[in-house]
DNA sequence: TTTCTTGTTGAACGATCATATAGCAATTGC
DNA sequence: GCAATTGCTATATGATCGTTCAACAAGAAA
């Protein structure tokens, strides 16, 4: 009979936070590839190599996991736009958003799936609104500072509104018409909005 | 015993096309209020006051119904942007898109739900791409004609790309942050993009 | 080596899902 | 009044869904 010591462990115990993070990453991967209808307990556990009971244990259930996925998707943005911090320089921001690393279909598919849920889920929508307002404030301040540095008079609030919508729309286009959208086209579209008001950005 | 004549009919027979149209309308209503996860045979039949077997009978199943819903959602756009017809005047188009009748959350929720599915459903995405290219052509021609009439030199393709993305982004914003977006803000955002390139539109 | 902590599994359960289809029944035609 | 047409119901079926939880087991501590 096999020595107990040589038996392969059935699973590896992780710290609670580590396991939760793995499940969130699996959830994001499932959203990226299959959208919100693929976001099921079975799909996520298969992806994470874990058992279905863990979702209830760590998140209280599927809805809690989705909320955690939203928070994880938002975390990089939160760092970038956190109220109280200095908003990024506008050219740096635009540059960064349209690198191949950021302007990627799978990552933006996550947002498209989440938007679909935010539209009909009051709980998620309330949380999104809090983040959105911080984001809008940061973008508006970036625009205002850039204009002021170049002695340009602009309606920063309106330009921020238009910029935010344009960014979201370009993301959406990459998801639903990927062959027709790329970083080059996206950058030029953004410049078409900003440069007449702010002058050259590059 | 009750006379046969006075018995209330159990259901009303409709022409096949009429019943199919009702089911499509029910499907769109379900997408508008609950998103793609609420798009189930039971929800749609409850909404239509019909029996589940009709979905299979008229559409071959749920996927066929979703395709029909997409076609129905697209039909008004098809009329507006049909390749071969005259694209609308740009100011008329912008005016029309941001009336309270068109810029409405429930209608735009349908698109948000469909976009989520288009992103991950190859069949639907292929159909969408056909329509999208006709739409882009029409918008580009509207922009080009408007610019030409005012002796303005613009990159019509780039401006059309930006305009399409901005329109989609404004729709999206109405769905996910409805308290913060309205027709007035949306119009002004569009003008911020177009007027520096094309001159006054109103 | 034994005990303890708690992460984890995976099956049971009831609900919901989409499809298939026998047969009912509204309505028209003869 | 009866027959024909075909729209339509509603049930059966197997699969998938999310939640629950008893009990297992990895790994640390004593």
The ipTM is 0.92
Flag if B120 and A180 touch (Cβ within 8 Å). no
The per-residue pLDDT for B85 is 76
- pLDDT tens-place string over residues A152-202: 999 999 999 999 999 999 999 999 999 999 999 999 999 999 999 999 997
The per-residue pLDDT for A79 is 84
Round the average pLDDT of chain A to a whole number and report it.
93
The per-residue pLDDT for A141 is 94
The per-residue pLDDT for B83 is 64
The per-residue pLDDT for A1 is 41
Residue B93 has pLDDT above 50, yes or no: yes
Q: Chains A, B: CB contacts under 8 A, how many?
A: 153
Flag if B37 and A38 touch (Cβ within 8 Å). no
C1' nearest to CA of B54: which nucleotide?
D8
Flag if A115 and B117 touch (Cβ within 8 Å). no
Give the residue-averaged pLDDT of B135-154.
95
- pLDDT tens-place string over residues A34-64: 999 999 999 999 999 999 999 999 999 999 9
Give the residue-averaged pLDDT of A89-102.
93
Chain B residue closest to A109 (CA)?
B119
The per-residue pLDDT for B1 is 42
Class of residue A35 by CB neighbours under 10 A (exposed 0-12, middle 13-18, buried 19+): buried
Give the residue-averaged pLDDT of A116-144.
95
What is the phi/psi pair of residue A176, to 5°? -100, -15
Share of chain A above pLDDT 90, in %: 87
The per-residue pLDDT for A81 is 80
d(CA A26, CA A45): 8
User: Where along chain A do the CATH 1.10.10.60 domains lie?
Assistant: 10-69
The answer to whether the C-beta of A14 is closer than 7 A to strand D is: no
Q: Which nucleotides of D are covered by protein (CB under 7 A)?
A: 6-12, 16-22, 25-27
CA of A150 to C1' of D19 (A): 59
- What are the structure tokens assigned to A84, written together? 């109280």
Give the residue-averaged pLDDT of B6-27.
90
User: Where along chain B do the CATH 1.10.10.60 domains lie?
Assistant: 13-68
The per-residue pLDDT for B87 is 83
d(CA B70, CA B111): 9
The per-residue pLDDT for A112 is 98
What kind and span of H or E run contains A53?
Answer: helix A53-59
Residue B6 has pLDDT above 60, yes or no: no
Confirm or reject contact between A37 and chain B (CB < 8 A): yes
Q: Per-residue confidence at A83, pLDDT binned at 50, 70, 90?
A: low
The per-residue pLDDT for A154 is 96
Flag if B193 and A192 touch (Cβ within 8 Å). yes
Residue A4 has pLDDT above 60, yes or no: no
Round the average pLDDT of chain B to a whole number and report it.
93
Residue/partner pairs of A140-146 with CB below 8 Å, 24 or more apart: A141/A87, A142/A87, A142/A88, A142/A89, A142/A90, A142/A93, A143/A90, A143/A198, A145/A87, A145/A89, A145/A90, A146/A89, A146/A90, A146/A91, A146/A198
Confirm or reject contact between A172 and chain B (CB < 8 A): yes
Give the residue-averaged pLDDT of B78-85.
77
- What are the structure tokens assigned to B71, written together? 């076609």
Measure B160 CA to nearest chain A CA, in Å: 9
The per-residue pLDDT for A82 is 73
Q: How far apart are the first and last CA of chain A?
A: 71
User: Where along chain A do the CATH 1.10.357.10 domains lie?
Assistant: 82-202
Q: Per-residue confidence at B86, pLDDT binned at 50, 70, 90?
A: confident
d(CA B141, CA B121): 30
The per-residue pLDDT for B79 is 85
d(CA B177, CA B173): 5
Residue A115 has pLDDT above 50, yes or no: yes
Give the residue-averaged pLDDT of B28-47.
97
Q: Find out whether B58 and B23 touch, Cβ atoms under 8 Å.
A: yes
Flag if A120 and B109 touch (Cβ within 8 Å). yes
Class in CATH terms, B13-68: mainly alpha
- What are the structure tokens assigned to B56, written together? 């299979």
d(CA A85, CA A80): 8
The answer to whether the C-beta of A40 is closer than 7 A to strand D is: yes
Burial B87-116, CB ≥16 within 10 A → b, else e? bbebeebbeebbeeeebeeebbbbbbbbbb
The per-residue pLDDT for B2 is 42
The per-residue pLDDT for A3 is 46
Chain B residue closest to A164 (CA)?
B169
In angstroms, what is the C-alpha Rg of chain B?
21
Q: Per-residue confidence at A68, pLDDT binned at 50, 70, 90?
A: very high
Confirm or reject contact between B45 and chain A (CB < 8 A): no
- Fold classification of B82-202 (topology level): Tetracycline Repressor; domain 2 (1.10.357)
- Fold classification of A10-69 (topology level): Arc Repressor Mutant, subunit A (1.10.10)
């Amino acid at each position: 009979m096999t020595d107990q010591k040589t038996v392969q462990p059935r699973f590896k115990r992780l710290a609670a936070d580590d396991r939760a993070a793995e499940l969130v990453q699996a959830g994001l991967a499932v959203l990226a590839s299959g959208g919100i209808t693929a976001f099921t307990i079975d799909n996520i556990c298969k992806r994470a190599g874990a058992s279905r009971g863990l979702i209830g244990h760590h998140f209280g259930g599927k809805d809690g996991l989705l909320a955690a996925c939203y928070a994880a998707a938002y975390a990089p943005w939160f760092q970038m736009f956190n109220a109280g911090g200095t908003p990024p320089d506008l050219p740096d921001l635009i540059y960064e958003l349209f690198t191949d690393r950021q302007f990627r279909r799978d990552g933006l598919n996550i947002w498209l799936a989440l938007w679909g849920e935010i539209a009909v889920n009051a709980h998620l929508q309330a949380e999104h609104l809090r983040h959105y307002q911080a984001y809008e404030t940061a973008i508006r301040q970036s625009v205002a500072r850039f204009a002021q540095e170049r002695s340009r008079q602009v309606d920063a609030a309106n330009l921020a509104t238009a910029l935010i919508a344009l960014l979201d729309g370009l993301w959406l286009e990459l998801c639903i018409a990927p062959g027709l959208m790329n970083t080059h086209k996206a950058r030029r579209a953004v410049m078409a909005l900003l440069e007449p008001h702010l002058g050259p950005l590059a």
